[in-house]
């Protein structure tokens, strides 16, 4: 353990009123972490997002996180073959707070179906949802409208009327879509671009808690 890490730990211990001998063993922490369900992590994420003044206008995008390197023997023993996690974040475009997150160990399935699932979980607090052309699907637009959410998703250009559809989109609001890229970059810069847990369910919780920490840190800096 480095000197800097020891200093940081001593400050944390002092803040919470513990001695070094009071800290549990790493295995105890791992077992306690396993008892935290993903639903609890989502509640924590939602509560941390509500620290900010949310605008009801959000954007969605996916990024990838590396899984920390493991020995070849370990990978073979537990079939640890997936190298990256796909993480889709829903971010408020005004405060840049992470509202919701979805994690997956595979790249199969439709991003549009996933976007509708995330939007449905947060329908009560959204007025619009911006996304890039990768989410161009009419069923997604219709599903968002049914939820009372205005879709801000540009059409791919296949015919002249696609230009007309795109011209009707509020460019100022749509251009805020890039805030998701800013959020993804900020989370990775401050908290890392790789997860340390080994099992996928721990990795999902790790990602969710990273977003919680990001929201809190951003709120404190304001």
Query: pLDDT tens digits for 128-167?
Result: 999 988 888 889 999 999 999 999 988 777 667 666 676 7
Q: Is the pLDDT of residue 1 over 60?
A: no
DSSP single-letter state for residue 56: S
pTM of the model: 0.81
Structure tokens given for 21? 């001998």
pLDDT for 110 equals 77
Structure tokens given for 172? 């100022």
What is the rounded distance in angstroms from the CA atom of residue 39 to the CA atom of residue 189? 26
Q: Is the pLDDT of residue 105 over 60?
A: yes
The residues pairing with 61 across neighbouring beta strands, listed in sequence order, are: 89
Q: What percent of the chain has pLDDT over 90?
A: 39
Query: pLDDT tens digits for 117-133?
Result: 999 999 888 999 999 88
What is the rounded distance in angstroms from the CA atom of residue 70 to the CA atom of residue 30? 18
What is the rounded distance in angstroms from the CA atom of residue 17 to the CA atom of residue 9? 12
Architecture of domain 35-221: 2-Layer Sandwich (3.30)
Burial-class residue 67 by CB neighbours within 10 Å (0-12, 13-18, 19+).
buried
- Give the number of other CB atoms < 10 A from CB of residue 165: 15
pLDDT for 168 equals 74
Q: Is the pLDDT of residue 5 over 50?
A: no
pLDDT for 161 equals 66
Q: What is the mean pLDDT of the chain?
A: 83
The mean per-residue pLDDT over the stretch 81-104 comes to 89
Half-sphere exposure of 190 (CA within 13 A, CB side): 16
* pLDDT band with cut points at 50, 70 and 90 for residue 3: very low
The mean per-residue pLDDT over the stretch 91-108 comes to 88
Q: Yes or no: say if 102 and 117 are a contact pair by the CB < 8 Å rule.
A: yes
Query: pLDDT tens digits for 22-72?
Result: 777 767 777 777 788 888 999 999 999 999 999 999 999 999 998 876 566
| Distances, alpha carbon 138 to alpha carbons 124, 145, 152, 153, in Å | 22, 11, 12, 10
The mean per-residue pLDDT over the stretch 109-118 comes to 85
């Amino acid at each position: 353990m480095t000197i800097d890490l020891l200093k940081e730990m001593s400050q944390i211990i002092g803040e919470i009123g513990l001695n070094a001998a009071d800290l549990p063993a790493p295995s105890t922490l791992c077992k306690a972490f396993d008892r935290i369900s993903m639903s609890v992590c989502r509640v924590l994420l939602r509560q941390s997002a509500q620290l900010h003044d949310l605008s009801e206008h959000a954007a969605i995008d996916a990024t990838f996180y590396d899984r920390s390197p493991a020995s070849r023997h370990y990978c073979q023993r537990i079939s640890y073959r997936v190298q990256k996690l796909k993480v889709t974040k829903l971010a408020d475009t005004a405060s840049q707070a992470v509202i919701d997150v979805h994690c997956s160990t595979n790249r199969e399935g439709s991003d549009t179906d996933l976007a509708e699932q995330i939007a449905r979980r947060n329908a009560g607090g959204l007025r619009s949802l911006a996304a890039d052309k990768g989410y161009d699907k009419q069923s997604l637009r219709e599903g968002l409208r049914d939820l009372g959410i205005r879709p801000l998703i540009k059409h791919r250009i296949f015919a002249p009327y696609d230009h007309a559809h795109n011209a009707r989109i509020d460019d100022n609001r749509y251009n805020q879509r890039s805030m998701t890229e800013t959020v993804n970059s900020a989370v990775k810069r401050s908290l890392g671009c790789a997860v340390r847990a080994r099992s996928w369910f721990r990795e999902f919780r790790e990602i969710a808690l990273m977003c919680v920490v990001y929201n809190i840190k951003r709120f404190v800096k304001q």
